[in-house]
Amino acid sequence: MKNPAVTTAWRSLALSMALLAAGCAAISGTSSTTVAASVATSVDFVNDSRPTRCAEEDNVYVKLTGPAISTFRIRAEHPPYLADITTDLTAPDFTACDMSNDPSFAFEPRTTVLYEDASIRLVGHRFSSFWRPEVVDFKVGTRHEPGLHLVQLLRRGIAPGVTANRPRVSPTGRDAGNELEILVVYPADGYWRAKPLPPVFLDDTAYGSSFLIGPIAEDGRPYVAIREIEFEPATQTFRLHFRNGTRGTLTVAEATRSGIDLAITLDTPLPADQPFAALRSMFVTTRQADVAVAVWPQTQPAQSAQAPIMDVTRIRAPAARFGRIEPSTHNLSAPDMVFDRFSSGYAIRNRDR
């Protein structure tokens, strides 16, 4: 008997498969000019996770590798049990956690509004301490703000949902407002988090898993070394300048009550054996986790496979979803994460015809 939650998770992947099939590029031309081509492809999801008892430790680490990947999508979607939430659970749990040996570098804290208009607001924060010493320049137009540790993108003018049959669930300790975070980035280590707009019966939802994009390095934990980030308000695009000289972009293509779509490009594809992206999350038990299972398509579009996250070793697939199929006591409303629409970009010289 099929699990209805897994079936729900598979619908997103089935759509991704159809889009992948439709998106294969056709190459044409009548001269000897060089043109760009993009081919839909599968990638390897390599699991380098390890057990932990600390619910605030990112012990889940799934690396994405593939041949010359130039574009892909990351989508955050609500967990399949979201409709059953009556009381959200978002408080941190530091039980069994020892972070006394974590690296720490001191900074002068500050908060600044980087940009705002009728639809979005961008807020930057510098913390009093952070685990990386790097100072990243953040730009919006002619404005430069170096050394920010957190940048929040908020969607404004959100009309409250109307529910006729149930009370609304508000975040603990916070009042509902008409602007909500949909995306955050930590410039000094390259971590991102995303979440959809909440359903009509929730005033907000929690963040859960993080992701990395670009040339991933490791120094005690994975990170991405970024030299500069430029934000383009008109397109909601973050232009990334990595310290190794390559570049990339992350664009908020869509943010709705069902999901948020992030379009990613890398201008210089990385070697096939070097991760170009990664999922970072936590798992203690199936009832205390931000990610508990992985779901991915099999050879035939109507079929899917699933496995507990700690049992996954390597997946070769055009898409994968990482999330939960039963409620968790940790970040209960946090979204599942889907990685798909991978394209391998290269240059080809057309022959004269």
Each residue of 161-178: b (16+ CB within 10 Å) or e? Answer: eeeeeeeebebeeeeeee
Condensed to tens digits (0 to 9), the pLDDT of residues 207-259 reads 999 999 999 999 989 999 999 999 999 999 999 999 999 999 999 999 999 99
Q: What share of the chain is helix, strand, coil (3-state, %, to 5)?
A: 5, 45, 50
Mean pLDDT of 15-31: 37
* Ramachandran class of 151: left when φ > 0, alpha when ψ lies in -120 to 50, beta otherwise: beta
The verdict on residue 179 lying in a domain is no
* Residue 47 and residue 306 in contact, taking contact as beta carbons nearer than 8 Å: no
Going 12 to 153 to 207 to 242, the CA torsion angle's sign is positive
**For residue 306, what is the enclosing H or E element?**
strand 304-308
Q: By residue range, what is the domain housing residue 253?
A: 4-24+33-89+190-349
Tell whether 153 is covered by a domain: no
In this structure, what are the phi and psi dihedrals at residue 22, rounded to the nearest 5 degrees?
-80, -15
Contact between 192 and 226 (Cβ < 8 Å): no
Q: Quote the pLDDT of residue 175.
A: 47
Question: Which residue in the block uniquely carries the two structure tokens 């070793």?
Answer: 313
The answer to whether residue 282 is domain-embedded is: yes
Domain assignment present for residue 111? The answer is no
- Report yes or no on 99 lying in a domain: no
Q: Has residue 189 got a pLDDT over 50?
A: yes
Least confident of 83-87, 98-102, 120-124, 319-323: 98-102
Residue 123: pLDDT band (50, 70, 90) is very high
> 339 pLDDT band (50/70/90 cuts)?
very high
pLDDT > 80? residue 29 = no
Among 93, 76, 65, 95, which Cα is nearest to 266's?
65
pLDDT of 8 higher than 60? no
11: helix, coil or strand?
A: helix
User: Using CA atoms, how far apart are residues 101 and 54, in angstroms rounded to an integer?
Assistant: 15
**Is 100 part of a structural domain of the chain?**
no
What is the number of other CB atoms lying within 10 angstroms of the CB of residue 151? 23
Q: Given this model, what pLDDT does residue 39 score?
A: 83
| Domain count across the chain | 1
Does residue 322 lie within any of the structural domains? yes
Instruction: Quick: pLDDT tens for 143-163.
Output: 999 999 999 999 998 766 555
Tokens in use for 42?
């599968």
Query: What is the radius of gyration, based on Cα positions, of the chain?
Result: 20
Which pTM value belongs to this model? 0.85
Q: Is the pLDDT of residue 325 over 50?
A: yes
| Assigned domain for 284 exists | yes
Residue 90: per-residue pLDDT: 80
